[in-house]
Structure 1
Amino acid sequence: MVDRLAAQIIKFRWLIIIASLAIVFFIASGASNIGFSSNYRVFFSEDNEQLVAFETLQNTYSKSDNIFVVLAPKDGEVFTVPTLNAVKDLTDRAWQLPYSTRVDSITNFQYTKAEEDDLLVNDLVEFPDEADLDEIKRIALSEPLLESRLISKQAHVTAVNTTVQLPQLTEQEIPELVAQARVMIAQFEEDYPHLDVYITGSVMLGNAFSESAQDDLANLFPVMFVIIIFTLLLLLRSFTGTAVTLVVIIMSIVSAMGMFGWLGWTLTGPSTSAPTVIMTMAVADCVHILVTFLFNMRHGMLKAEAMQEAIRINFQPVFITSITTVVGFMTLNFSEVPPFRDLGNTVAMGVVAAFFLSVFLLPALVMVLPVKEKKQADKAHKGLDAIANFVINKRRQILIGTGLVTIAIFSAIPLNMINDDFVGYFKQSVEFRKDTDFTAENLSGIYTIEYSLVAGESGEISNPKFLQQVEAFSQWLEAREEVVHVDTITEIFKRLNKNMHADDESYFRLPESQDLAAQYLLLYEMSLPYGLDLNNQLNVDKSSIKLTVVLNNIPSYKTLALEKDIAEWLETNTDITEFYAASPNIMFSHIGERNVMSMVSGVSYALILICIIMVIVLRSVKLGLVSLIPNLIPIGAAFGLWGIFNGNVGISVGTATGMVLGIVVDDTVHFLSKYRRARREKGYTSEQAVQYAFATVGTALWVTTFVLVAGFMVLALSNFNMNAHMGIFTATTITLALIFDFIALPAILLKLEEKTAGKQGTENILTSTPN
């Protein structure tokens, strides 16, 4: 059947070329619908528990999406007239940004004081004057709502926080807002050269995802393209072979991205790596067919005969490897992170396209293009022959050595821990990362947990018992080493109580009467200017409050542990029964852990399916099970090495496991198919079959491995660490898989042959078929 198919491909080559171009052109037209997402919420499903809680929090209180601008005077002192004037000016400018609903700074902080029987509420800094600087500094540094939030303890940096309410109608809202913010900051820096300016916040986080994605497409794809061209020219030694491979690569990519567009998906950080991954996967199919074709021509076959034989020999293994690769990438649908599902589905579509184009279009193109290959002795296999002979002669030592090394590396797997850091998703060269790191080191933690605490019925937040419990909760939090700052409404109640008692410091405590507390709060709210109300801390009917916990830069597993401790403390020490936690930090911490658990299920299903496929293809249950050894050990070894050199298993590494499983199976399939062909069709001994497998598929395996490793290592150059870590982990696993397939797999096969021969005589597991 395959012989007939190969003959038809060669016969109708022009029809295949025209039809392929037409179909791919139509599919590729969908790419015009592709856009970029700048919203970090795309990393979560709509029904994600933490996202739902976060959206509920945002709808209950004011939105917390923000642009956080940090100002660092070059003289190291915030409380000078020029710097305070600059802060005041930036505060005014920030109000002009699109979607801004609130701007907070030390200059417009609503400072309260008593004047006879009146409560005065004014900006802390109205008109900076040298005579007032010491008093302003004293107030700011003693105010819990400012210190370590908008002003550093050393008074060497300060910040202006702009809260925005995005309509979330188009994907362009964040890029346009960031563009205007950068224009504003550029002009501000010109006007105030004595200040260093750093910009961070959740809006900048979302924009960093989008910019990193676009940078990867613009920078990494061309690098990989050049690497592939030089690699193919060097290793295939054929201009025609290189040219047709590039055609297949490009058409596979545009087909997949066209379908991406037709399906209405948007590009995110992880999914932008799809073209680079598809490029490497498409090369593998092409190389296997071309290496066999060129091998045949160099050994005297005519062009048509050589291509027909190449299709016959490679159709089944290429088909099987395409299936296993698709299965591997489809496991990404088990991921808790939608962008990784998009990546898996997109690459799977690209792999399917690459299979059809490799089997149909590539041979057709080769047949119409000139191929000049002279009959010659094959010098390229000397090194592979040496490896084959080494394995044959040292099989026992290899098995013992491989076992010992495997045990040693596997022992490092427990060094890994689940940890996701959404700021750490970006390399330190990224502007957002640099500015955010500066903020964390000099002003305040960038990780928060926001709690909604329900007091009861309307107006119950003024209940002294509730306020006392919130105060105790705040004090317990501030004593934790993970906590930098706690922002709570109780500080305002204490300050108002002091103000209403003639600013007597002894009254800096919570009001003892609910009615009195409610009156203080009402009086205070009526005095607040537009945009600086308490809706960011209180709900509309004053039945619940929002308490914000600012954290140090701690691993995600510590964040989850803290969340658990907080829940237990509230249940044990308060009457507050209704509460929930929400924040981007909580969302990313939970999804990292849940993603690993989901991928374990996905990989398990993929493993079972791949095992069944291998059993069917190899026609042996025993050999099908044995074939999983060279596929699982490299993955385990990669985790061991990851534990030694990194140790943080985030979303990307956890997700890559299923993807890698589908890739590393490919080498095993090709090697075993050639080995089995030598035993069944040619009647070779097991030693001769090993040599035959190395001779026929060895070159293709190390060429495709080189290209795959190069492709995924190009991802390591990404400024987006999700892609970089996925690339490094995958490249490491593929390298280990080739080493295992070249060294350990033949030794295992030879050892199995020895045992089988001893039990069954001349019959062996490779030539026998199940009844």
Structure 2
Amino acid sequence: MKFRWLLALMIIVVSITAGGGLSKLTFDGNYRVFFGENNPDLIAFGEFQNVYTRNDNLFFLLYDEKAPGFSRSLAEASEALTEKAWTIPFASRVDSITNYQHTYADGTDSLVVENLFRDTENMSDAEIRSRAKIALREPTLVNNVISEDGRAVLVSVTLPFPELNPSEIPQAVAAARSLVDEIEAQYPSLQVALSGTTMFNNAFNEAGQTDSETLIPLTYAVMLLLVLVLLRSFSGTVATLLVIGLSTVTALGLAGWVGIKLMPIAIAAPTIILTLAVADSVHLIWAVKRNLANCLPKREAITAALKSNLAAISLTSITTAIGFLSLNFSDSPPFRTLGTLTAIGVIAAWLYSLVLVPALLMLMPLKPATQAKTGWLERWLSAYSGFVARRPKQIFVIGGLITLGFGALATLNQNNDRFAEYFGHEMEFRHDLELGIDVLKSADIFEVSVSSGEPEGINNPEYLTQLDAFAKWARQQPHVRHVYAYSDVAKRLNMNMHGDDANFRKLPDSSELAAQYLLLYELSLPYGLDLNDRIAVDKSATRVSLSMNDPTAQDLRKLSEDIQAWFSKTNAHDLEPARPTGPSVMFSYISKRNVDAMFSGTLLAVVLVGMSIMIGLRSVKFGLLSLVPNLVPPIIAFGLWGLLVGKIGMAASVIGATSLGIVVDDTIHFIAKYLQGRRENGLPPEAAIAFAFTRVGGAMATTTLIVAVGFAVLATSVFAVNSQLGLLTAITIIIALIFDFTVLPAMLLIGAKRETHIQEG
């Protein structure tokens, strides 16, 4: 208090200096940021791309909903789009039904390779129908490039981004969307949708931008309204908003200075910091107003509030920071960034609350809490404490039964993300992706590299036979819509080289024939449509692509395990399969890996939080006791989630650690006041419980409501992981307050009576 202005000035200088890093803050929306550099799935994907070239893709889906089958509009639009797609920045290849390299025999030993559709405007309707029938008979096309009913076709664009500038993906997406508008204007009967890894990456960027533009202002506005209404103090509101604003600026600014990038999930850090930074200031301001109501002079009221709350505020800030810092155990870098940024913001809020809030309260007018406004609350809390004091054992037993019941319900949850559900329905990407799922019955590509173990080995009949056996097996698996394997190409070429006799649609009999057919085919392909994306350069391996019918993460993990089992235990002992891979496969494992990795992080957080409370409260017993009502709420929250939803994703892995750091705040404040009543005021247990309720119960309810609403705002995020994190945390916080108001005082009373019984005995 004596040096408040000097300290406040220093704090402002520090925050302004830190805020200078905001200009250096960048956002990385590439889906690869979800995976650490040592993540085995990322390593497998990198090895796969090294063999078949590293690239992203972009899919145009053309759909003629009202056509009876393949229409002239689809043929013309596909050809036009195939030509124009080359103008998309970074495009290196365009594949479609138009430039599909149709092969057929010219005589008995000649092979003709040509575009399936060419100059469609001058084609007759009969010729268009004839060409469409060819496409619908071709296994590599149907359910892959053209739907079974012929009313939808796909145009695929390959984009090997140099990754030198963050604007590369937005540039490509902007050009693609311009083409969509152009095609839809020219062919009004068609619907055109965009998907692919490029659009997936761009969706992360757009979700981050949307959240930063909406959630941060909305959270700030909600905090303003709640603090103003609940504190009923203009001065207190100004001080609180200044603290949460500077805390957020400090955390993000320091991130900019040290080169930490914002990324999906981590973009929620500002919203969380804005929410958590409120608690310290509210507890302090609530105590000051109460002291003023007891007729203390302003300076003494502030000093007394600091003295009585300093230990609890410091301890709660430390435990909250510990909870979020434990996210650095996560297998996913965005969670690690979220934890680090939030911890920085929480510590900044602690420092600013203790320095800026007292200085501002001294400077600005501050009305005491009047009896008319607080009397009813104190009477209610006092009456409630009496209710708890009369039946602690019953409350403890009921609380235990509720925990066991919801713990059983929590087992109903399945760690089962769906690729299509990562983004909200309000996003264009989600709408386009679901249209593709409805029309082509496919949303994900599952890749497997199958190696022969030797150069030119893919022409070996044994290799082709086993590759074909794997493709046939894969087509029989649940959720597999289409399989594209090189063995299908080899069969078609063998048929072509036997005068298009359907009886020869089978694999070549010798390595020499297979090699000759492949060479002849490759020499006939136009520039940009070679097989380098399907076959290794030394022809030692080929790529098998499985199109999946909207699978869950669990479906993808099971298929991956089944594929590896098939190669290792059944038919293909001579083949060398790589790890099944692809973005959807990688994401199917990341939440499971996160759960495993965060087990250690959560366990360490529990130990460190418990030790911090023991030291802060100077009691091993109360440190251990405080953990019980804070480990239980996440269990009940997951039980509710299992009953109502039953499906959890990446956010679930961190709820235990983050919620522990948050919900322990109320427990610490309550126990600290209880011990103050016991140790300093010499009150008996029941009176000490009533003392804690009346002294800190209102502040606990206020901060809990504010923090819960803040996380509820995060639940409106268009990104599902952030939304689940916000909603589950809000539910956990509310449950924790209920337990702190019921089970915690019951446990304190049971423990106190047991101590008395032992002493008397």
Task: Give the TM-score range, shorter chain.
Answer: over 0.9
- 2: CA distance between counterparts of 1:738 and 1:615? 21
- Aligned position for 1:186: 181
- Aligned position for 1:196: 191
Match of 1:362 among 357, 364, 367: 357
Deviation at 1:375, TM superposition (A): 6.2
- Aligned position for 2:679: 680
Deviation at 1:136, TM superposition (A): 1.1
Deviation at 1:710, TM superposition (A): 0.4
Deviation at 1:427, TM superposition (A): 1.6
Greater CA deviation, 750-759 or 124-133? Answer: 124-133
- 1: CA distance between counterparts of 2:196 and 2:379? 59
Q: What is the 5 A alignment of 1:324-723?
A: 324-373=319-368, 376=371, 378-379=374-375, 380-572=377-569, 573-574=571-572, 575-723=574-722
Confirm whether residue 34 of structure 1 aligns to residue 34 of structure 2.
Answer: no
Deviation at 1:126, TM superposition (A): 1.0
- 1: CA distance between counterparts of 2:750 and 2:5? 49
Amino acid at match of 1:693: A
- Aligned position for 2:87: 96
- Would you say the 8 A contact 1:470–1:490 is kept in 2? yes
- Would you say the 8 A contact 2:686–2:749 is kept in 1? yes
- Aligned position for 2:732: 733
Which ranges in structure 1 are unaligned for 5 or more consecutive residues?
1-9, 763-771
Secondary structure of 2:421 counterpart: coil
Secondary structure of 1:121 counterpart: strand
Greater CA deviation, 208-217 or 647-656? Answer: 647-656
TM-score using structure 1 length: 0.96
Deviation at 1:17, TM superposition (A): 2.3
Confirm whether residue 16 of structure 1 aligns to residue 7 of structure 2.
Answer: yes
Seen in structure 2, the aligned counterparts of structure 1 residues 78 and 65 have a Cα distance that, compared at 3 Å, is farther
Spell out, residue by residue over 1:414-434, the C-alpha distance to the aligned partner (whole angstroms, 9 max, x if none).
111222333311122221111
Greater CA deviation, 256-265 or 79-88? Answer: 79-88
Deviation at 1:303, TM superposition (A): 0.3
Confirm whether residue 148 of structure 1 aligns to residue 136 of structure 2.
Answer: no
- 1: CA distance between counterparts of 2:652 and 2:603? 16
Seen in structure 2, the aligned counterparts of structure 1 residues 365 and 601 have a Cα distance that, compared at 3 Å, is same
- Aligned position for 1:295: 290
Percent identity between the two aligned chains:
42
- Aligned position for 2:249: 254
Greater CA deviation, 382-391 or 590-599? Answer: 382-391
Seen in structure 2, the aligned counterparts of structure 1 residues 651 and 375 have a Cα distance that, compared at 3 Å, is closer
- Aligned position for 1:748: 747
Confirm whether residue 121 of structure 1 aligns to residue 118 of structure 2.
Answer: no
- 2: CA distance between counterparts of 1:374 and 1:522? 88
Deviation at 1:554, TM superposition (A): 2.1
Amino acid at match of 1:580: R
- 2: CA distance between counterparts of 1:30 and 1:558? 44
- 1: CA distance between counterparts of 2:39 and 2:464? 32
- Would you say the 8 A contact 1:72–1:78 is kept in 2? no
- 2: CA distance between counterparts of 1:385 and 1:237? 22
Deviation at 1:77, TM superposition (A): 4.4
Match of 1:73 among 40, 44, 64: 64
Secondary structure of 2:161 counterpart: coil
Spell out, residue by residue over 1:354-403, the C-alpha distance to the aligned partner (whole angstroms, 9 max, x if none).
01000111111111112233764641322222221211123233222222
Amino acid at match of 1:248: V
Spell out, residue by residue over 1:647-692, the C-alpha distance to the aligned partner (whole angstroms, 9 max, x if none).
2221112122211111111111000000000000001111111111
- Would you say the 8 A contact 1:28–1:259 is kept in 2? yes
- 1: CA distance between counterparts of 2:103 and 2:62? 25
Greater CA deviation, 277-286 or 125-134? Answer: 125-134
- Would you say the 8 A contact 1:112–1:496 is kept in 2? yes
- 2: CA distance between counterparts of 1:249 and 1:278? 7
Deviation at 1:579, TM superposition (A): 2.7
- Would you say the 8 A contact 2:36–2:332 is kept in 1? yes
Deviation at 1:138, TM superposition (A): 1.3
Greater CA deviation, 675-684 or 440-449? Answer: 440-449
Secondary structure of 2:164 counterpart: coil
Secondary structure of 2:158 counterpart: strand
- Would you say the 8 A contact 2:291–2:368 is kept in 1? no
Amino acid at match of 1:485: H
- 2: CA distance between counterparts of 1:405 and 1:38? 42
- 1: CA distance between counterparts of 2:642 and 2:675? 37
Seen in structure 2, the aligned counterparts of structure 1 residues 374 and 172 have a Cα distance that, compared at 3 Å, is closer
- Would you say the 8 A contact 1:392–1:687 is kept in 2? yes
Deviation at 1:435, TM superposition (A): 0.8
- 1: CA distance between counterparts of 2:370 and 2:523? 94
- 1: CA distance between counterparts of 2:164 and 2:738? 51
Amino acid at match of 1:708: V
Confirm whether residue 53 of structure 1 aligns to residue 48 of structure 2.
Answer: no
Deviation at 1:166, TM superposition (A): 0.5
Amino acid at match of 1:612: M
Seen in structure 2, the aligned counterparts of structure 1 residues 623 and 372 have a Cα distance that, compared at 3 Å, is closer
- 1: CA distance between counterparts of 2:724 and 2:619? 37
Seen in structure 2, the aligned counterparts of structure 1 residues 232 and 578 have a Cα distance that, compared at 3 Å, is closer
- Aligned position for 1:7: none
- Aligned position for 2:237: 242
Deviation at 1:205, TM superposition (A): 0.4
Greater CA deviation, 569-578 or 112-121? Answer: 569-578
Secondary structure of 2:742 counterpart: helix
Spell out, residue by residue over 1:28-57, the C-alpha distance to the aligned partner (whole angstroms, 9 max, x if none).
000101122131111111221111111121
- 1: CA distance between counterparts of 2:600 and 2:579? 29
- Would you say the 8 A contact 2:74–2:153 is kept in 1? no
- 1: CA distance between counterparts of 2:208 and 2:68? 38
- 1: CA distance between counterparts of 2:576 and 2:533? 22
Count of residue correspondences: 753
Amino acid at match of 1:514: S
Greater CA deviation, 25-34 or 424-433? Answer: 424-433
- 2: CA distance between counterparts of 1:570 and 1:643? 36
Secondary structure of 2:211 counterpart: helix
Deviation at 1:78, TM superposition (A): 5.3
- 2: CA distance between counterparts of 1:429 and 1:215? 11
Amino acid at match of 1:357: Y
- 2: CA distance between counterparts of 1:297 and 1:715? 36
Seen in structure 2, the aligned counterparts of structure 1 residues 680 and 319 have a Cα distance that, compared at 3 Å, is same
- 2: CA distance between counterparts of 1:161 and 1:439? 13
Confirm whether residue 307 of structure 1 aligns to residue 302 of structure 2.
Answer: yes
- Would you say the 8 A contact 1:325–1:663 is kept in 2? yes
- RMSD across aligned C-alpha pairs, in angstroms? 1.4
- 1: CA distance between counterparts of 2:554 and 2:542? 27
- 1: CA distance between counterparts of 2:57 and 2:597? 32
Secondary structure of 1:545 counterpart: strand
Deviation at 1:578, TM superposition (A): 4.6
- 1: CA distance between counterparts of 2:201 and 2:380? 50
Deviation at 1:260, TM superposition (A): 1.1
- Would you say the 8 A contact 1:101–1:531 is kept in 2? yes
Amino acid at match of 2:508: P
- 1: CA distance between counterparts of 2:666 and 2:32? 38
TM-score using structure 2 length: 0.97
Deviation at 1:67, TM superposition (A): 0.8
Greater CA deviation, 119-128 or 369-378? Answer: 369-378
- 1: CA distance between counterparts of 2:26 and 2:98? 40
Greater CA deviation, 41-50 or 443-452? Answer: 443-452
- Would you say the 8 A contact 1:329–1:662 is kept in 2? yes
